Amino acid sequence: MQRSWAINIEMESKLNTINVIVMGKELEVSCPSEENEKVRIAAKYIESEFKKIKESSSLSEDNIAALSSLRITNQLLNKEKNLVQESYGNEVAKKLKDIHKKLDSQIKNLSNL
């Protein structure tokens, strides 16, 4: 028999309850209706990571859950790092372009002297 837990995802809008499967267990999750699909997608992703590890190891469910959490968090942090690097790179490129324009303008002014 599967256990069921209730989890509240705190938001300001009206909450409703959906059921998702995580680690082979049905969970009742309270979330805003506009977040239903995101919560379902997140649960499916967690479940898929859990199954990948479970199929390739003989670890206990607790260890698989911990390892899945670490793997997902690592993926998230890597994506966040890449986004920051891309953003920083775009800012640097824009500043370099502005400097290049200013230099071109100054060279043009100097050549007119």
pLDDT at residue 6 greater than cutoff 60: no
Which residues sit opposite 32 in a β-bridge? 15
Q: What is the pLDDT of residues 60-100, one digit of tens each?
A: 989 999 999 999 999 998 888 888 777 777 777 778 888 88
Pairing status of strand 15-22 against strand 25-32: antiparallel
Given a contact cutoff of 8 angstroms between Cβ atoms, the answer to whether 9 and 35 are in contact is yes
Percent of the chain with pLDDT over 70: 87
pLDDT at residue 5 greater than cutoff 60: no
DSSP category for residue 30: E
Q: Which domain holds residue 84?
A: 5-111
Task: Say how many domains are in the chain.
Answer: 1
Average pLDDT over residues 6-21: 73
Look up the pTM and report it: 0.62
Give the DSSP H or E segment for 56: none
**pLDDT attached to residue 2:** 47
